[in-house]
Amino acid sequence: MLIVMKPSATQAEIDAVVERIRSLGLTPHPIPGAQRVAIGITGNKSGLDPDPFTILPGVADAIRVSQPFKLVSREVKPEDTVIDVGGVPLGGPAIALMAGPCSVESREQILETAHAVKAAGARFLRGGAYKPRTSPYEFQGLAEEGLRLLALAREQTGLKVVTEVMDVETLPMVCDYADVLQIGARNMQNFSLLKQLGTLRKPVLLKRGPSATIKEWLMAAEYVLSRGNYQVALCERGIRTFETMTRNTLDINAVPVLKALTHLPVVVDPSHGIGLRAHVAAVARAGVAAGADGLIVEVHPHPEKALSDGHQSLTPAEFEGLVAQVRVIGSALGRPLSS
Ligand code: PEP
Ligand code: MN
């Protein structure tokens, strides 16, 4: 249920509706909008009767939300969500560029990459300190040392840090260093982790599970919003299909479909989406053309020496070329790169 307040509603009237929702054992979610405040209601096990709400002072309407996902839906919040990551927007008209290595490997590697991607136009530095590797014998990341190196790179460049958190145990520590918490594809439906993220007030980049439907993905985001953390962006990173020539199949359809269904920012990861360095730029261009609000791209100063995902990592020069192309496509759509 969504309670839409009149544009003229007073704060006292809004507070009274919030109180009434609480008194029924339900959870109110006030959503400020450009024209009026709306209040989402969650926690009801069956359909709610709108009538007792429509008679309250200041209420314009009480609407049943038709989608199973509520707080993430455009029905509930028509305006795009813009996440303020320490002064850098994620979502909204500007396209956010995130770039960096798959894994943080060393001080030299992360600092060199950070300076290079910043010069090319990125505002966010990506890099994993905890890596979800398919094989237990592969490089697992530098753990807290990797987080410290990311913080050092942030200090030197001003880039915002996007890094993966893999479990509830390391969440407090990763939070101390990250500006955006990346939830990896394999953890999209880790419900205990999602519930914990909901208690934080920190931006989350929720990657799509390799076999998750758009609905399952939106329901995973709903877990986080339903507990009060509204700062969630979605990241399309390719799904598993019958195709074997590419690492994954980037679901370009998901971009416009999500933009219609949800107000949350949509980021495209062309690196994992195709898994082939030669074609990363093409997929990045397609993502922006389809309406993505951001890109997250793997960049390594020496991809041939990378400890993970070197085959899909761009050199800084290649990334610069990608940014130049994306800038042109963005401007054709009236979307500048975030500066
Ligand atoms: C990554 O970003 O390096 C990563 C492991 O991504 P995903 O969770 O999408 O596989
Ligand atoms: Mn990777």
Atom of ligand 1 nearest to the CA of 184: 8
How does DSSP assign 87-130, residue by residue?
TEEESSSSBEEEEE-SB---HHHHHHHHHHHHHHT-SEEE-BSS
Atom of ligand 1 nearest to the CA of 132: 5
Looking at all shown ligands, the one closest to residue 267's CA atom is 1
Atom of ligand 1 nearest to the CA of 126: 2
If you measure from the C-alpha of residue 272 to the centroid of ligand 2, how many angstroms do you get, rounded to a whole number? 7
Written as tens digits, the pLDDT of the chain (339 aa) is 999 999 999 999 999 999 999 999 999 999 988 889 999 999 998 889 999 999 999 999 999 988 889 999 999 999 999 999 999 999 999 999 999 999 999 999 999 999 999 999 999 999 999 999 999 999 999 999 999 999 999 999 999 999 999 999 999 999 999 999 999 999 999 999 999 999 999 999 999 999 999 999 999 999 999 999 999 999 999 999 999 999 999 999 999 999 999 999 999 999 999 999 999 999 999 999 999 999 999 999 999 999 999 999 999 999 999 999 999 999 999 999 987
Atom of ligand 1 nearest to the CA of 309: 3
If you measure from the C-alpha of residue 185 to the centroid of ligand 1, how many angstroms do you get, rounded to a whole number? 6
239: which DSSP letter?
B
Spell out the domains of the chain, with CATH numbers in brackets: 2-63 (3.30.70.1140), 83-332 (3.20.20.70)
If you measure from the C-alpha of residue 140 to the centroid of ligand 1, how many angstroms do you get, rounded to a whole number? 13
**Atom 10 (ligand 1) nearest CA:** 185
Element (DSSP H or E) covering residue 233: strand 232-236
If you measure from the C-alpha of residue 309 to the centroid of ligand 2, how many angstroms do you get, rounded to a whole number? 5
Ligand 1 interacting residues, C-beta cut-off 6 A: 102, 128, 132, 184-185, 207, 237, 272
247: which DSSP letter?
S
If you measure from the C-alpha of residue 126 to the centroid of ligand 2, how many angstroms do you get, rounded to a whole number? 10
Give the orientation angle of helix 316-332 with respect to helix 107-120, to 10 degrees: 30
CA distance 322 to 117: 11
If you measure from the C-alpha of residue 261 to the centroid of ligand 1, how many angstroms do you get, rounded to a whole number? 24
CA distance 181 to 325: 28
Best residue among 135, 250, 272, 313 to mutate for probing ligand 1's pocket (most ligand atoms within 8 Å of CB) is 272
Looking at all shown ligands, the one closest to residue 164's CA atom is 1
What is the reported pTM? 0.96
